[in-house]
A and B are shown apart, each in its own frame.
Chain A
Amino acid sequence: MKTIASNTVAFAWRYLWSRPLAAALNLLLLTLGLASITFLLLVSHQISQAFDRDVAGIDVVVGAKGSPMQLILSGVFHLDVPTGNVPLAAVKALEADPRVAKIIPISLGDSFRGYRIVGTTPEYIRHYDAQLAQGTLWAKPMQAVVGAQVARQTGMKVGDSFVGTHGLAGGGEEHKLSPYVVSGILADSHTVLDRLVLTATESVWQVHETDTALDDDDRKVLEEDREITLALIQYKSPLAAVTFPRYINSSTEMQAAAPALEITRLLSMVGVGTDVLRALAGVLLLTAGLSVFIALWGAVRERRADLALLRMLGAPPAKVAGLLLCEALWLALLATVLGVLAGQGLTALLAWALQLEKSVLIGALSWPVELVSVPVLAFGVALASALLPAWEAYRVSVFELLQSR
């Protein structure tokens, strides 16, 4: 004789799976809705976290005139192509500006297997608090420090040498005359640095001057109009945000763009997309709720006499109604677990795909506080759809049992 736990929870479980098809369908619908919501929550959480990390401490980006968003996307997140180059002298002049606390030069142009080679100063690494996992920083031009993800994907080690290809997309002409040597590898910092190859600004000049200069005189000429791509700037005081960008935009040939502003603009544009997805998830949940309601309503109709018998056997009305509610809560619990797992899986899949695309970094697993809304929604929907059937079960009259002949 198999014994089963005799309590409301156990009996509700039996009743739930006594109609396996209906239970599975309801579970599927609920899970789909919850998985979409989990996915949305995780992705928006991770994207805003990635943005926040990469933008931290950068008040303004100065570069060639063009689209300010393009400047931010290329200079801070290394996603887009830059707007152009600016004269080194013009940026040097900004160092004297009393409003500027820190300038990090960024020079783009080449890449290694799709990862950008960024000419900069060690200040860039310090800015993100990144640590070296192996080796040292560059001591002279043509030495490079590679980000953690780059090292993982390409298998590069300290002491290896490699050549960059012209252009940011990969597949360009190789600068065979100017090979880089890996001097260090960064530990994971979960910032944009993970997917960059960093080197001294001079390296970038050297690569291109070696390629184009015919002789030493030619080189001198090139040295005089050296350029960088853009500069990341931190203000001394937030007040500078009022005057500094206006000064750059009106008095120089460069433009200034504030990352915070551009990200807000970007997210508000992407926001339309997430709103649509959210609405879709809402529709899924609503459908699931309706389906659960129909199933439970049918169950009450079908089991009316069984429920009346429970009353005859001495169960108070609340106990009979509780049995039905508990069935819905089981669905909510199962759907929450499955939905969150599916949502995490989907996010991990997206992260994996994005990593292949060398795009914004998304970590594999995260449990933002906002995820609490998933069980809250699940139990809310389940309770709402079980309320009327439970009330019907509550009102079942034992007398009906005697008359059901």
Chain B
Amino acid sequence: MISTRQLAYRYVNGPQLRFADVDAPQGGTLLLRGASGSGKSTWLALAAGLLAPSEGDITVAGQSIKALGARAGDAWRASAIGFLPQKLHLSAALTVHGNLAMAQWAAGHAADEGRIAEALDALDVRALADRKPSQLSGGQAQRVALARAVLLKPRVILADEPTASLDDDAAAASLALLQATADQERATLVIATHDARVAEFFKDKKGLQSIQIMVGKL
């Protein structure tokens, strides 16, 4: 569940960004649309507790971001947020399995082999566990990154431009996978995108929330 009220963020010596209110229920889907540089990253950073709002508040999975300290933020983020970055940033030094193990380590969780196997299974990439990221295709790599994102059973999945540089078929497959994974994990899915195909893909989805983000405008 994500809801915002009069959410705004002011950069030091920069413009103030104001965001439209949203109410995405648990298990819902939220689209953040806007050109690059419009403030989608700022919205994601606010939702992840990486930035504190200058005005208003954002509540993510029952947690008010305004009330979250930096230190508590790290631990909260580890368990509440699953993040799928545009560049996947799978660590080249580690295998697929190692990348997931490292996510557990980074979150300060004890190693849980059962959960790693489960997450890899859910994304159908368990057979690739011993490969290095350089040995994966683009689609496989995205699946692995998604397995990493849902590893700690987050309440919210933040996907940053998941369809960038994908052709139409691959983009559709990627979005379908995202939605299916979020449904399976009962997580709220947030997709930040400037890609018109994403809105097109979700146009028939019930209860879809969508906000347009534009610099300097509500």
Q: B102 and A310: CB pair below 8 A? A: yes
* Chain B residues, Cβ within 8 Å of A401: 85, 89
Q: A18 and B129: CB pair below 8 A? A: no
Residue in B44, B51, B97, B106 whose beta carbon sits within 8 Å of that of A313 in the complex? B106
Q: B87 and A314: CB pair below 8 A? A: no
Closest beta carbon of chain A to B68's beta carbon, Å = 13
Task: For A310, give the chain B residue with the smallest CB separation.
Answer: B106
B105 interfacial contact with A, CB 8 Å: yes
Q: B85 and A1: CB pair below 8 A? A: no
Q: A399 and B105: CB pair below 8 A? A: no
Q: B95 and A2: CB pair below 8 A? A: yes
Q: A309 and B41: CB pair below 8 A? A: no
Task: For B75, give the chain A residue with the smallest CB separation.
Answer: A314
Task: For B110, give the chain A residue with the smallest CB separation.
Answer: A6
Q: Contact residues of A with B, CB < 8 Å?
A: 1-8, 11, 14-15, 17-18, 303, 305-306, 308-316, 319, 398-399, 401-405
Interface of A is mostly: helix
* Chain B residues, Cβ within 8 Å of A14: 93-94, 98
B214 interfacial contact with A, CB 8 Å: no
| Complex Cα–Cα for A7 and B48 (A) | 25
Q: B77 and A312: CB pair below 8 A? A: yes
Q: Contact residues of B with A, CB < 8 Å?
A: 36, 41, 44-45, 48, 50-51, 71, 74-75, 77-79, 81, 83, 85-87, 89, 91-95, 97-98, 101-108, 111, 113, 116-117, 120, 126, 129-130, 148, 152, 160-161, 164
| Complex Cα–Cα for A154 and B111 (A) | 64
| Complex Cα–Cα for A401 and B45 (A) | 10
| Complex Cα–Cα for A92 and B106 (A) | 84
Q: B103 and A313: CB pair below 8 A? A: yes
Task: For B89, give the chain A residue with the smallest CB separation.
Answer: A309
Q: A399 and B50: CB pair below 8 A? A: yes
| Complex Cα–Cα for A405 and B44 (A) | 14
Q: A306 and B89: CB pair below 8 A? A: yes
Q: B103 and A403: CB pair below 8 A? A: no
| Complex Cα–Cα for A319 and B94 (A) | 18
Closest beta carbon of chain A to B36's beta carbon, Å = 7
The answer to whether residues A405 and B107 also contact, given A2-B130, A314-B78 and a CB cut-off of 8 A, is no
| Complex Cα–Cα for A327 and B78 (A) | 24
